[in-house]
Chains A and B, each alone.
Chain A
């Protein structure tokens, strides 16, 4: 136990803050994009739905390095679009914190989108129709009726998104790299110290990550559990 505090004392804590910051920002972006995409997709016809849903879910099923590959192609400063962003707008994604956010958002977004979509599809369409016949605007119906009613599903989607964004490794290491104090996230730090044979520091970070992950899942269960009180055990 003394060992634990000794490590904690001499540790560079920057990876934790970088991971948390990345997780929060990527989750915020995914939240609104995910709700928006889910709302659009459920209104599509069967064919368009299959195609668009497939594209939006792709980052979740592909290896993160594949997403990293595409992100590098898009944002590399040696290519047209990356060059344009850098020269005209001063935006650089490669080897910057912005790269961390982009990578985490792309990888985690499908979790938000899919959970929101599943929650929306569970909603009784009569609620929306009732809102319309009562004269409520579609925006008001969405934010005041649909989102609160889909609340538990959206909340668990948000938490999963946050956990996934915080732990992202593959795409992040390719796009943002592992620059200590700048883009060095917890998962990248773990990989690095293990290469150095420092299992103690690695183990310390592993405990931190497991704690955060457990808290996230516990939070989901608490939120979802409130609605599951009536389910009979068998």
Chain B
């Protein structure tokens, strides 16, 4: 089930916000400069900014739907929002701040709940302090405790580190990861800092001028995010309207070129078990290798000196697993409408995917063999169709 769906249209004077976010990812990053509309997007989801039209849905619950005239108050949305300046209530003690969102006021039950949350964030000794007496990092922990205690279904972080100096920022990034580690819901973080977001996100959106201009999928192992130009059902949770990468593939058939390549890696039965059982420390080997392979197809011209840069319209990478032979076969298909063929792209994709498998499994088995990398078929272009 799609967890978050937000289709937001809003016009303020000359500025027009028009974004679509669909995602199942637990950690979503939104990158953008100030004035790009990224904070406005967050505020619209939380319900503290009015939206002209669209629909916002969270885990099957409709928060806003202009067609059905549904518009839940922010109080009813169950969405936690951490403000850039934390917005702690200045006249309330830390404990009262954390209890502010709980029903039943200062009951013993609420006090216990709030104290437990403060203890989780190592702030139990500060419960009598006023927010003004705390450091920026401590304020942030209280702000997060105050949100978490209300058990929101979605947490929105608006530039959470921008109010901190560079030393604290580094520390709070690590702390934030820890604090959110056992939170089961989705978290959206907005920032103008790519590095911060690459570290945090599973999926990364870039907003500029009120539009989503770019969508990237992030690699948990390398903490980097790569643009996802291809149609891969397993990974594409986003499909931006007006997305620059959505080239019309059904276009001219005459210039369409495809190439398919394959190759295998042979490994020990132990390594095979580890891959299938997903026991490898660095994470799900095949998912990472699949992404790496697709990235490889797109970077071919950077790697092979005489290869032209080509705009791929499609790149697909699949694995066939032969458990008995302890072999994994990678099959890569590349498509483009360019002036040169795409066999080099397909071959590079296969190679990079297999190299990634090797890299991730080498701790278990160093004798793995990468072999039989070859072109399977090729269509379009002057040299005509080719089948291996």
Chain A interface (Cβ within 8 Å of chain B)?
124, 126-127, 129-137, 144-145, 148-149, 151
Q: Is the CB of A131 within 8 A of B100?
A: yes
Flag if B48 contacts A135 (CB, 8 Å). Answer: no
Write out the residue numbers on chain A whose beta carbons fall within 8 Å of the beta carbon of B103.
135
Least CB distance, A143 to chain B, in whole angstroms: 12
- Residue tally, chain B, CB below 8 Å to A: 28
Establish whether residues A136 and B101, one from each chain, have CB atoms under 8 Å apart when the complex forms.
yes
User: Does B80 touch A at the CB level, under 8 Å?
Assistant: yes
Taking the complex as formed, is B55 at the interface, i.e. its CB lies under 8 A from any CB of chain A?
no
A126 pairs with B89, CB closer than 8 A = no
Q: B200 contacts the other chain (Cβ, under 8 Å)?
A: no
In addition to A130-B89, A133-B47, A148-B92, 16 A-B residue pairs with Cβ atoms within 8 Å of each other are A126-B84, A126-B87, A127-B89, A127-B90, A129-B43, A129-B48, A129-B74, A129-B81, A130-B87, A133-B48, A134-B80, A135-B75, A136-B101, A144-B92, A148-B89, A149-B90
Whether, in the assembled complex, B85 has its beta carbon less than 8 Å from a beta carbon of chain A, the answer is yes
Are B91 and A148 closer than 8 Å at their CB atoms?
yes
Contact A133 to B85, CB < 8 A, known contacts A144-B100, A148-B91, A151-B91: no
B378 interface residue, CB < 8 Å from A? no
A127 contacts across to B, CB distance below 8 A: 87, 89-90
- A136 and B48 CA atoms in complex are apart in Å by 13
Which residues from B are CB-within-8-Å of A149?
A: 89-91
CB atoms of B85 and A134 under 8 A apart: no
Closest to A133 in B: B81
Which chain A residues lie closer than 8 Å to B150 at the CB level? 134-135
Please determine whether B100 and A134 come into contact, CB atoms closer than 8 angstroms.
yes
State the Cβ distance, B82 to closest chain A Cβ, in Å: 9
**B146 on the A face (CB < 8 A):** yes
Known: A134-B150, A136-B100. A129 touches B75 (CB 8 A): no
A148 and B75 CA atoms in complex are apart in Å by 21
Instruction: Give me 16 A-to-B residue pairs in the complex whose CB atoms sit less than 8 angstroms apart, sorted by A's number.
Output: A126-B83, A126-B85, A127-B87, A127-B89, A129-B46, A129-B87, A130-B89, A131-B89, A131-B100, A133-B47, A133-B74, A133-B75, A133-B79, A134-B101, A145-B92, A145-B100
Task: Assess the B74–A132 pair: CB atoms within 8 A.
Answer: yes
Q: Are A133 and B46 in contact (CB under 8 A)?
A: yes
Point out which of A131, A135, A149 has the most chain B C-beta atoms below 10 A from its C-beta: A135
Beta-carbon contacts under 8 Å, B86-128 to A: 87-92, 100-101, 103
B298 interface contact, C-beta 8 A: no
Asked if B211 is an interface residue, CB under 8 A from chain A, the answer is no
Determine the chain A residues whose CB is within 8 A of the CB of B83 once the complex forms: 126, 129-130
CB distance from B146 to the nearest CB of A (A): 7
Whether A132 contacts B90 by the Cβ 8 Å rule is no
Q: How far is the CB of B218 from chain A (nearest CB, A)?
A: 27
B residues near A130, Cβ cutoff 8 Å: 81, 83, 87-89
- Asked whether B85 lies within 8 Å of A124 as measured between CB atoms, the reply is yes
Q: Provide the bound-state CA to CA distance between A137 and B100, in Å.
A: 11
Q: Which residues of A contact B78 (CB under 8 A)?
A: 135
Asked if B73 is an interface residue, CB under 8 A from chain A, the answer is yes
* Minimum C-beta distance from A46 to chain B (A): 15
Q: Give Cα A30–Cα B100 distance, bound, in whole angstroms.
A: 29
Q: Is the CB of B147 within 8 A of A134?
A: yes
Structural contact, B77 and A133, CB atoms closer than 8 A: yes
Residues on the B chain within 8 Å of A134, using CB: 80, 100-101, 146-147, 150
Residue with the greatest number of chain B CB neighbours at <10 A, chosen from A134, A136, A148, A149: A134
Report the separation of the CA atoms of residues A136 and B87 in the bound assembly, to the nearest whole angstrom. Answer: 14
Pick from A124, A132, A145, A151: contact of B75, CB under 8 Å: A132
Q: Which residues of A contact B74 (CB under 8 A)?
A: 129, 132-133
Complex Cα gap A129–B156 (Å): 13
Q: Select from chain A the residue with minimum beta-carbon distance to B149.
A: A134
**Which A-chain residue is minimally distant from B74 (CB atoms)?**
A132
- In the complex, how many angstroms separate the beta carbon of A141 from the nearest chain B beta carbon? 9
